[in-house]
Amino acid sequence: MAPLDGGQARVLTDTRSAAFKARAWTGPEIVQVPSRHGAGTVWGKFYGPKDYEPGRKYPVVMFVHGAGYLQNVHARWPNYFREQMFHHLLVEQGYVVLDLDYRGSEGYGRDWRTAIYRQMGHPELEDYLDGLDWVVANRQGDRDHAGIYGGSYGGFMTFMALFRSPGTFKAGAALRPVVDWTQYNHEYTSNILNTPELDPGAYRTSSPIEYAQGLQDHLLIAHGMIDDNVFYRDSVVLAQKLIELRKDNWELASYPLERHGFVRPDSWFDQYRRIHKLFERTLKEPAR
């Protein structure tokens, strides 16, 4: 609070705990990733150690923001503050993390925003493949030990990465993910894919369920059972598809009391614990 007549502002409240303030939090570095696919520059947030060990390769985690149209690369306090704290934990434990404003994200002009027209999940995946190349070339990332995760649109993109580029990411965590765009809110999808009746090909091109056969790596699916945005049904449908395809190394974590955005601390803790265990098991040790 600042006095009306000027003078020094003073803090009225500080809700940070002593443990929170005692941590030396890792701030992200804003980076520019060159596109090999004609997109120019892909902006990102990179989280890494202060000092790199010469010759060491660091396992890579890539985060995919939600909604498709958000802008997450900025210097403000992020919408994804939980994820930013999780990325700090990952860096402490020997990972490097990259978060991109992939094509479709806000803030980069009309062409960037509309690049995904009739092909959701395709330009964005190209951006993440370029991002992985950048981390390997510039930040000692280990290409053979890379993972990916995200929620909502980020969960959809996790599916597209694992299903359409098998072997690139050893593990992925798809949280509250879209599986089939024909079943989603058409007020959202019709601006990008038209409608299923008019443009069924665009929906087939853009829906992860069409590529499920490609899964060969480790997959965690996490979904609230009363999600009223991306219905829990999506994850159930994919689970059945993976059973029919006789796929292995996947699991579904269900949260009976949660909607699209979790509200219960126990649910958040359980979800991040599962993601962390997945990456520890598959990116640091021989995958099993």
**Which are the catalytic amino acids?**
152, 227, 260
Separation between Cα atoms, residue 238 and residue 250, nearest integer Å = 11
Q: Where are the alpha helices (DSSP H) in the chain?
A: 18-22, 81-92, 110-114, 123-138, 153-164, 186-193, 200-206, 233-244, 265-279
The burial class, CB within 10 Å (0-12 / 13-18 / 19+), for 102 is buried
Beta-ladder partners of 34: 41
Contact by Cβ (8 Å): 246, 232: no
* Residue in the block written with tokens 């509309």: 114
Structure token digits, residue 23: 């941590």
Cβ density class 149-169: b for 16+ within 10 Å, e for less = bbbbbbbbbbbbbbbebeebb
